[in-house]
Amino acid sequence: MVLEHEHLLEVRALHTTFYTEKGRVKAVEDVSFYVDRGEMVGLVGESGCGKSVTCESIMQLHNRRITEIKGEIFFESQDLLKLKKQQMRNIRGRSISMIFQDPMSSLNPVYTIGDQIVEAIKTHRKIEKNEAMRQAVELLSMTEISSPEEVAKKYPHQLSGGMRQRVLIAIALACQPRLLIADEPTTALDVTIQSQILDLLVQFKKTLDMGIILITHDLGVVAEVCSRVIVMYAGEIVEEGTVESIFTKPLHPYTRGLLLAMPQIQGDRNCKLKVIKGVVPSLFNLPRGCRFAPRCDYSTQICAEKHPELTALDSGQMVRCWHYQKLLKEARINDSICDASARG
Amino acid sequence: MENPDTFYDGSKRIKSEIKKENQRLFMRRLLANKSLLIGGIILIIIGLIAILGPSFLSNTPYQIFAEERLSAPSREFIFGTDNMGRDLLSRVIFGARVSLFVGLMASGVTALVGLMVGLYASYYRFLDHILMRICDGLMAFPAILLALAIMAALGANALNVIVALSIVMIPTVARVIRSAALVVQEQTFIEAIKAQGAGSFRVIWVHIAPNVLSHLIIQATYVFAISIIIEASLSFMGVGIPAPDPSWGNIIYEGKIHITRAWWMTLFPGAFILSTVIALNLFGDGLRDFLDPYTIN
């Protein structure tokens, strides 16, 4: 394997382990992926599958004492895991920014919006307070917030959820990062605001040539804005590919299940949504073989016994399943949706 | 319609009216809070007596009127005189200065050190174990006993009283601040600030500290009240403020043996201690309700 460092971010064999009082938890295991400039990559999976942990590992926001991060995280050709504390701090906020899930608690309640953006600017650049405030207002207006000068003087509790998320985006963009990690940025917002925020992200991706990792459990969002999708399950990647390939021919039963669980606007309204039975296995007690096997319709003897490897297909799609060829043979997912649910 | 400004975006006149309305609401909340109001008024009165009182006095607290020893309250000596023939009014007022000064300093030092200990204990796990075990150790002793032991070791003077009181009180404040800070740290904005590249010093002092400030202010008022009681107790036991300087505690101490003949030596300083401590506690309770946004109705 030739090392290619031309990607903006390349994560190789990332293992994140927490040492908790209950024991060792392997929250993320053998995760590898890359993000290019000007590209939005979706990271999908249900709660607790390691999406957020993966991104927090990139930023190294976990308590170092109880967390072990192994592997390599190349960002612009330097391994973030080899950096010193101070060097990593210079990366955070300047080169890589993060937007958090809950806009309600992601702002410090005791400072005004303007002050908080100014702080984000002044953390990495030595400029005058007045100039920083001017830039803060400019950033706010970039996020299409109405009357940015007024908003800058307000406290977080005076703003709505959508406005706060715009403020958080402004803070994240304060130093024009090359990579933006958006951890479920639209989950706490209603649908109309959701699409506005997504439009903003798409727009900034283009104008600033940023790479964006979009963590979400909403496949609709992914289909709309991402170019590639990574599907995670129980701490590992189960499928990866372009949006088109994942949505038209998902090769992992889990991805398939997620798609079938999604309501379709076109097509037969009477066909029922299909649920994935069961819950994500506890990370303390993972199945020996394939982690999805207990919930999988396709599982056979081998699934319970041997852990499948991530297999790359000619098309570039990657899948971690013993039976992907069986799924490959099946027709396009859209055609088979109603058949599948009729069967189930 | 996600901009609350749509309502406010009228003329400047409307804006100033909103400002006035907010001020009215603030005043109404202040006035509705009886304990804060009463406690505050009593504290202001006692404070004014301590600061301005001496300039209205005709006698110094050390001046001895030998023939007038243990005389009952009269027009000349409003609070009577003590066993040495000193004007009790003057001694109680100067005693207020000493007691309030000691209490204020003790609560100030306690608040500052308690804030530091609490914040760092909440932020660094290894410091947490060390600092909290020290606090446990200090809290295992009854406050008075510990203060007494420290005074015995250091010697009786006003500075040492402040030191002893601070050592006794810091653990309580540190624990309150630690638990409040732990709650603040669980909020996403702390993680968000770290993700912006902020160092631990900034996270602790710029972002966590202001969010625990209300807890600190409330604790400081309680510490102030307890400091006055402990200082009085220490002086009463003869290890506090040394004679001839007056403090509420040592005036009561001197009056102890004359209590059957000269009740005023015990009553007046006692009444001052009582009213100050009650006022401080009322004020602290009121402040807690006032600063806690969830009690607004």
Q: What is the DSSP string of B195-230?
A: HTT--HHHIIIIIIHHHHHHHHHHHHHHHHHHHHHH
Q: Is B129 helix (H, G, I), strand (E, B) or coil?
A: helix
Looking at residue A256, its amino acid is R
pLDDT recorded at residue B170: 93
**Which of the two residues, A4 and B149, has the higher pLDDT score?**
B149
**Is the same domain home to A188 and A324?**
no
Sorted by where each begins, the domain ranges of chain B are: 1-32, 33-291
Q: Which backbone phi and psi does A265 adopt, to 5 degrees?
A: -80, -45
Q: Label residue B244 by pLDDT band (50, 70, 90).
A: confident
**B186 in reach of chain A (CB within 8 A):** no
**How crowded is residue B281: how many other Cβ atoms within 10 Å of its Cβ?**
17
Residue A258 belongs to a domain: yes
Tell me how far apart the alpha carbons of residues B242 and B225 are, in angstroms, rounded to a whole number.
21
Mutation choice for A interface testing from B186, B190, B196, B217 by most A CBs within 10 A: B196
Nearest-Cα residue of chain A relative to residue B8:
A150
Size of interface A-B (CB pairs under 8 A): 77
Residue A339 belongs to a domain: yes
Mean pLDDT, residues B208-233? 90
CATH code, B33-291 = 1.10.3720.10
Considering only CA atoms, which of A239, A263, A228, A234 is closest in space to residue A328?
A239
Mean pLDDT, residues B280-297? 76
**Is the same domain home to A257 and A180?**
no
Q: Is B136 helix (H, G, I), strand (E, B) or coil?
A: helix
Residue A238 belongs to a domain: no
Q: Which of B2, B5, B189 comes nearest A105 by C-beta?
A: B189
Burial A38-74 (b: 16+ CB within 10 A, else e): ebbbbbbbeebbbbbbbbbbbbbbbeeeebebebebb
Q: Residue B192 and residue A107: Cβ atoms within 8 Å?
A: yes
**Is the same domain home to A88 and A172?**
yes
Q: Residue B192 and residue A98: Cβ atoms within 8 Å?
A: yes
Residue A305 belongs to a domain: yes
Q: What is the dihedral of CA A171, A176, A177, A182, to 10 degrees?
A: 40
In chain B, residues 42-71 whose CB comes closer than 8 Å to chain A:
none
**A22 in reach of chain B (CB within 8 A):** no
Contact A46, A75 (CB under 8 A): no
**B12 in reach of chain A (CB within 8 A):** no
**Is the same domain home to A26 and A65?**
yes
pLDDT recorded at residue B104: 92
Does pLDDT of B82 surpass 90? no
Average pLDDT, chain B: 85
Strand-pair partners of A92: A96
**Is the same domain home to A213 and A112?**
yes
Considering only CA atoms, which of B239, B99, B122, B102 is closest in space to residue B173?
B122
pLDDT recorded at residue B2: 45
Mutation choice for B interface testing from A65, A105, A187 by most B CBs within 10 A: A105
**A146 in reach of chain B (CB within 8 A):** yes
**Is the same domain home to A273 and A343?**
yes
Q: Are strands A9-20 and A236-242 parallel, antiparallel or unpaired?
A: unpaired
**Is the same domain home to A221 and A262?**
no
Q: Residue A150 and residue B2: Cβ atoms within 8 Å?
A: no
Contact A33, A237 (CB under 8 A): yes
Structure tokens at A64: 């170092």
ipTM above 0.85, yes or no: no
Q: Label residue B232 by pLDDT band (50, 70, 90).
A: confident
**Is the same domain home to A270 and A141?**
no
Residue A130 CB contacts under 8 Å (≥ 6 apart), including other chains = none
Nearest-Cα residue of chain B relative to residue A193:
B2
Q: Residue B211 and residue A107: Cβ atoms within 8 Å?
A: no
**B194 in reach of chain A (CB within 8 A):** yes
pLDDT recorded at residue B275: 92
Residue A231 belongs to a domain: no
Q: Label residue B115 by pLDDT band (50, 70, 90).
A: very high
CATH code of residue A100: 3.40.50.300
pLDDT recorded at residue B45: 92
Residue A115 CB contacts under 8 Å (≥ 6 apart), including other chains = none
**Is the same domain home to A140 and A42?**
yes
Tell me how far apart the alpha carbons of residues B268 and B265 are, in angstroms, rounded to a whole number.
6
Residue at a domain's end among A169, A191, A226: A226
Q: Which stretches in chain A have pLDDT values below 50? A: 1-2, 336-344
* Angle at CA of residue B187, ends B182 and B192, nearest 5°: 120
Q: Residue B189 and residue A108: Cβ atoms within 8 Å?
A: yes
Residue A108 belongs to a domain: yes
**Is the same domain home to A175 and A45?**
yes
Number of domains in chain A: 2
Domain that holds residue A290: 250-344
Mean pLDDT, residues B3-18? 60
Does pLDDT of B31 surpass 50? yes
How distant is the Cα of A106 from the closest Cα of chain B, in angstroms? 4
Residue at a domain's end among A226, A259, A279: A226
**Is the same domain home to A121 and A205?**
yes
How distant is the Cα of B3 from the closest Cα of chain A, in angstroms? 7
**B211 in reach of chain A (CB within 8 A):** yes
Q: Residue A61 and residue B207: Cβ atoms within 8 Å?
A: no
pLDDT recorded at residue A219: 86
Residue at a domain's end among A194, A211, A226: A226
Q: Residue A119 and residue B192: Cβ atoms within 8 Å?
A: no
Report the Cα A166 to chain-centroid distance in Å.
18
